[in-house]
Structures are given as C-alpha cells and as structure tokens.
C-alpha cells in the first residue's frame, strides 16, 4: 500500500510541480524540489510511464490490442463503420504524456548522479517522448512539438501550431538515437534495456518510412526512416544489445506464466495473482469468440513453402479450396497450428464457438490444469511480450526490402538468412518451412519461384512475401490495422469484390470456414447451426435473400447490407481517403481560435 500511495504522490507531482499557490507546502506532501534527490526516485517516476506505453494484455476485463483489439482489421469477422463526423474532443489529442516525460528529462539536472546515469535516464525519457509523438503522429500526422515542460502562463508556447510531420519524425529519430546510445544494456529485471529501445525504434521508424513513401511521396525521408529502422533491428539481431534467439514453440511466447527465461522475448509485461491480471486466455479458452477470416487463414503457406494456390502439395485447384477444415489445416506453416484450434467450433453446436468457425488458441496455456482458476475469468496471469526477436527480424527484412526499392542498399541473401530463414526453425509435427532464396525481385523455395496468384499487382513479389511473413508472424497482435494504414491499403478491407450495394460476391474478409453437412450427420445438428452459410455456386445475397445451402457453405460473417456498406472503400474519394488520419478535435480548433491562433484540420475533415 505504501508503494501505491507513493506512486500516486508522484502522479500528483506531475501536475502540481509548476503551481505556486502555497508559499509553504504541507509537510506530508512531496514537492518538486524535494522529489528529485535520488536515482531511485527517478526510477519510480519513470515506472509510471510503463503501463502508458507497454499495455500488453491490458488488465482486468481488457486485453489491449491483441486479438480483436482493433475495430478495422481483416483478421477477424467483426465489422465496424468508418468515422463519419468530426468529434469535438478526442482522448488521443492530449499533451499530458508529453509534459510528463518532458518533466523527467528537465528535472534530471537537479539529481546527484553520474553523467552516465543521467544519460541513461535521459535516454529513457527521450524514448518515451519518441513513443508518445509516434502515437500522436500516427493518428494525426502534423502535431505541435514540445521538448520542454511549459507553464500555463506561456500562451505563445502552449498554442503552438502543428509542426510538419517531417520535423516531428526528425525529432523522434533524434530521441531514439540518443536513447539507443545511452540506455543501459541491462538495468535489471523488468526494466527497459537498450535492446528494448532498439526494437521499438525499428517498429516506429519502419512505420514512418512507409508513410513518407506511400502517402507523402517524400523518398528522402522514407529512405532515412528505413535506414534507421534496419540499423536498429540489426543491432538486436547481431547481438550488439544482448543475446536473443528464436524459440521453436511459437505459442509459448504468448501463453507462458513466466517469460523471464524465454530466449526470444526482449521485454515483457508481468502479470501476478492479486496484483495485475487480464482475461485474454479466458477469452480463447471457454468463451465464444470472434473468428479468423478465411482471407487470413488462407494467407498461411503450405509446408512446402508455397502459397496454397501455387502449392502442388495443397492442390487448391482440386476443389477450389472448398475442403474440410482438417484437410486445410494440415501441412501448413507451423505458426498456423500454434495459432488456430485444430477443429471447427460452430455457433449452435459448440458453446465455445467462433463467429467464423475458426477458433484461436495462440494465447492459451495448453499445459494449464483444467482446474487452474487463473485460466478463467479476468484473473489470467500469463505474461505479455512487448518486444520480441521474431518481430524485430520482420522489421529488419521489411526495411531492407523497402530500402532496396527506395534508392538504398540492395537487399541480399544474407538479409533473409538472418531473418526469415531464422524464423523457420519452428516446427509442428516434426515439419518446418523450407528456407527462402533471393531470386531477383522474388523469393524461391527448393528451386521454385514463389508466384502467388492472389498478389496485389501494385506490390512487388518480394515485398508481397515479406508482408505476408509479417502478417503471419504478428497475427492478431494489433499490428494489421497500422500496417494497412501505412501501406495505404485500406482498400483491402472492402467487403465486396464487386459492388457493395449488391453484395452478391463477398470476399474472404466476410467468410469463415467451409462447413460440410456430411460432417454433422444428425439432421438436428445441421439445423442447429445458427450462423449463416454462403454457397458461391448459388450466390444469392445472403443478407437479404438467405437460403441455407443444402450440403455445404462458407460461414458468413456479415449480417446486413449496412454492415457491408460501412466497410466500402472508393479510392480517391475524399470521404474514404481521409480515414488514413484522425480528425483534429473541433474543441481544440476553437480553443486555439479563441487564443488568436489557427489550428489546421486534416484534409477531408472540414465538413
């Protein structure tokens, strides 16, 4: 309890440090000058930032961004609408966290510590500032940049116009560079170390490299960001910030009660009974869940390393992909087996069903005793990986390929050997994917050039396969929405292949598993299936003229034309294109106007 109260006091310090309404502070309260006296106090202040940026599996009845944590994501069948109106307020447009870390950086001069210790904590503060501005810039693009705590009387400083994204990202790079050079290689258990900084740096700068390339056509800034992302990831992969290696058991990374000995995990959030718990494992254990889409399921390679529509082993042409689940599940990328339950779970037949029939168990501790109460309700104590080597490797290889396509250094076989080929150590049933070989602007496996019939023709074959690898490695981890945003590919979310107004030809984002009546021989079982099924050989609009197929069909994930239209996308249309950035809250624009300063709105959100 003393620790909790002390943390609350530190939190109050953040907001009262600039107040002078009392000449003499109460003896029972902390003062700004009285707090910055030791490194232990600095550490305590910095710890306040951890849950702000390292959400992990959330707490209580939440699970952060994992699984269905993103409203728009083609990896599950739940659907929502694009933002239609400009809000008055937004919790994302706040500079309280910027002020919080700026106070940390500013007050270090008062603390009696060695220069190395001060630089470590400056690095921690600047890392947090880089993370906060990364979050804000991903949402809003241009944002006002503050690098020191301001007083309320400084109206000129407070009402700062939006700084250009290139300026903000340059500052983010400077902060990450400083942190990468000064944060300790090891600062103790559950503390940010240099490898953590580098992993986060690779993620954020890869994002902005894509934004400058695909949205702003600023190839110079794109190249800078890709170079920095590749460098940061390379430092981790090459062991310059600690020794890490890929684990064979992919699911253990996400479902272990103790990640402290996991060789792949660089930084994690710890959960403990009666302290901090979550409910993610409960959700994938005995409860109904939103399901993986057919599109995501089909993205996993066959075990021969080829896309399922190219693989002779999978032989997609033999049935057009309409096959029993057990047959589509076997001989695939081992990560599919670690991620997806090995049998269908259908509403009306199973209590713990999935809306697509495809259930996830990526976060389920398979070794847990059925009577273990920590696997139920909101008292789960499995640790959450925050930074791990597998994702850092994916950041590296994507940055390397993007650089080669943006006037930078050419990507090499060595780049693939130290990333994707390292990931292929993972096995399932004694089988693993073959290594990839660079073949011009493509990849090959066992002498066969990968040529996915479903490839987006605007994306090179090489980059397409790297993006697939990222999608699979980070499946359901809250990454996909951000990836589609930075690649300028929200058109992938379109629900209908043709016209959403007719909705007679939905794509795989709306469809789940193929269900065969013969697998449910009792007539009552087939009749109790409560989800809609869609048969492409009889393509009536399933949302308005639903007729249950006689023998088989795809589970259908959209229940109304309105839901489908919510997910429409028309390229070039300002209403849709504006969705790549969030609107600046109208209340903030008025607040600036009242102060005599103009705060500009993002394109398309003026009306």
* CA–CA distances in Å: residue 84 to residues 140, 206, 259: 16, 29, 42
For residue 516, the enclosing domain spans 511-566
183 in a structural domain: no
What is the per-residue pLDDT across 494-531, written as a single tens digit (0 to 9) for each? 776 665 455 566 677 778 899 988 888 777 787 777 77
Answer with the residue of higher pLDDT: 460 or 369: 460
Residue 193 and residue 236 in contact, taking contact as beta carbons nearer than 8 Å? no
Q: Is the pTM of this model over 0.85?
A: yes
Question: In this structure, is residue 402 part of a structural domain?
Answer: no
Longest dimension (CA), the chain: 83
First to last CA, the chain: 50
What pLDDT is stored for residue 544 in this prediction? 55
CB atoms within 10 A of CB 212: 23
Predicted pLDDT at 28: 43
Buried-state track 151-165, b at ≥16 Cβ within 10 A, e below 16: eeeeeeebbbebbeb
Helices (H) and strands (E) in the chain, counts: 24, 8
Query: For position 561, what pLDDT does the model report?
Result: 59
Q: How many CA atoms lie within 13 A of 121 on its CB side?
A: 28
Q: Are 321 and 513 in contact (CB under 8 A)?
A: no
Query: 55 falls in which pLDDT band (50, 70, 90)?
Result: very high
Tell me the C-alpha distance between 242 and 236, whole Å: 7
Cα distances (Å, whole numbers) of residue 596 to 93, 160, 451, 591: 20, 11, 58, 9
Q: What angle (nearest 5°) sits at the alpha carbon of residue 391, between those of residues 387 and 393?
A: 120
- β-strand partners of 265: 388
Residue 519 has which token pair?
A: 């697998």
Q: How far apart are CA 587 and CA 599, in angstroms?
A: 11
pLDDT at site 578: 95
402 against 537, higher pLDDT: 402
462 in any annotated domain: no
**Cα 440 from Cα 557, distance rounded (Å):** 39
Q: Which is nearest to 59 in space by CA: 251, 285, 275?
A: 275
The answer to whether position 531 is within a domain reads yes
Q: CA 75, CA 557: separation in Å to the nearest integer?
A: 12
Q: How far is it, in rounded angstroms, from Cα 567 to Cα 600?
A: 28
- Asked whether residue 557 is assigned to any structural domain, the reply reads yes
Cα–Cα distance, 506 to 310 (Å, whole number): 23
Number of domains in the chain: 1
> For 392-444, how does the pLDDT look when each residue is reduced to its tens digit (9 = 90+)?
999 999 999 999 999 999 999 999 999 999 999 999 999 999 999 999 999 99
Asked whether residue 147 is domain-assigned, the answer is no
Q: Is residue 82 part of a domain?
A: no
Q: Residue 272: which of 57, 7, 467 has the closest Cα?
A: 57
Determine, yes or no, domain membership for 521: yes
**Mean pLDDT across 202-223:** 98
List all residues 6 or more positions away from 83 whose beta carbon is below 8 Å from its beta carbon: 579, 582, 583
What would the pLDDT profile of 299-347 be if each residue is shown by its tens digit? 999 999 999 999 999 999 999 989 999 999 999 999 999 999 999 998 8
Based on its alpha-carbon atoms, the radius of gyration of the chain, rounded to whole angstroms, reads: 25
């Amino acid at each position: 309890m003393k620790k909790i109260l002390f943390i609350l006091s530190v939190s109050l310090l953040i907001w009262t440090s600039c107040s002078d309404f009392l000449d003499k502070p109460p003896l029972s309260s902390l003062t700004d000058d009285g707090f910055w006296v030791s490194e232990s106090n600095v550490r305590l202040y910095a710890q306040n930032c951890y849950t702000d940026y390292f959400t992990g599996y959330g707490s209580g009845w939440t699970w952060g961004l994992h699984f269905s944590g993103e409203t728009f994501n083609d990896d599950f069948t739940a659907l929502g609408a694009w933002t239609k109106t400009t809000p008055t307020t937004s919790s994302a447009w706040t500079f309280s966290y910027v002020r919080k870390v700026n106070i940390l950086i500013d007050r270090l001069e008062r603390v009696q510590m060695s220069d190395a210790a001060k630089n470590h904590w400056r690095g921690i503060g600047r890392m947090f500032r880089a993370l906060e501005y990364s979050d804000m810039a991903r949402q809003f693009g241009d944002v006002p940049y503050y690098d020191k705590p301001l007083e309320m009387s400084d109206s000129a400083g407070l009402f700062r116009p939006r700084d250009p994204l290139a300026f903000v990202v340059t500052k983010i790079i400077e902060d990450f560079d400083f942190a990468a050079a000064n944060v300790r290689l090891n600062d103790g258990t559950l503390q940010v170390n240099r490898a953590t900084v580098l992993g986060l740096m690779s993620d954020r700068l890869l994002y902005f490299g894509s934004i400058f390339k695909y949205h702003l056509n600023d190839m110079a800034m794109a190249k800078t960001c890709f170079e920095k992302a590749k460098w940061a990831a390379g430092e981790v992969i090459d062991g310059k910030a600690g020794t890490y290696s890929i684990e064979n058991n992919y699911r253990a990374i996400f479902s272990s009660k103790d990640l402290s000995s996991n060789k792949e995990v660089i930084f994690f959030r710890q959960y403990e009974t009666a302290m901090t718990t979550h409910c993610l494992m409960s959700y994938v254990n005995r409860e109904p869940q939103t399901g993986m889409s057919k599109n995501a399921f089909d993205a996993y390679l066959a075990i021969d390393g080829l896309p399922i529509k190219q693989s002779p082993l999978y032989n997609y042409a033999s049935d057009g992909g309409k096959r029993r689940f057990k047959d589509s599940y076997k001989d695939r990328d081992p990560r599919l087996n670690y991620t997806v339950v090995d049998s269908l779970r259908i509403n009306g037949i199973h209590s713990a069903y999935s809306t697509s029939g495809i259930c996830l168990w990526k976060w389920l501790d398979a070794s847990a005793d059925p009577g273990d109460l920590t696997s139920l309700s909101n008292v789960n104590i499995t640790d959450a990986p925050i930074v791990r080597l597998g994702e850092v490797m994916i950041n590296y290889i994507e940055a390397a390929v993007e650089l080669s396509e943006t006037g930078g250094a050419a990507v090499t076989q060595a780049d693939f050997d130290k990333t994707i080929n390292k990931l292929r150590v993972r096995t399932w049933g004694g089988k693993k994917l073959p290594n990839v070989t660079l073949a011009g602007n493509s990849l090959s496996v066992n002498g066969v050039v990968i040529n996915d019939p479903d490839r987006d023709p605007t994306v090179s074959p090489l980059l397409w396969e790297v993006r697939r690898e990222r999608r699979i490695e980070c499946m359901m981890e809250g990454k996909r929405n951000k990836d589609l945003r930075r690649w300028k590919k929200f058109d992938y979310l379109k629900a209908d292949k043709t016209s959403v107004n007719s909705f007679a030809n939905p794509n795989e984002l709306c469809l789940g598993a193929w269900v065969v009546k013969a697998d449910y021989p009792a007539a009552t079982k087939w009749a109790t299936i409560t989800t809609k099924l869609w048969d492409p050989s009889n393509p009536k609009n399933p949302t308005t003229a639903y007729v249950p197929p006689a023998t088989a069909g795809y589970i259908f994930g959209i229940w109304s034309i309105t839901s489908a239209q919510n997910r429409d996308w028309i390229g070039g249309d300002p209403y849709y294109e504006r969705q790549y950035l969030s609107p600046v809250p109208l209340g903030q624009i008025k607040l600036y106007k009242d102060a005599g300063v103009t705060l500009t709105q993002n394109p398309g959100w003026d009306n």
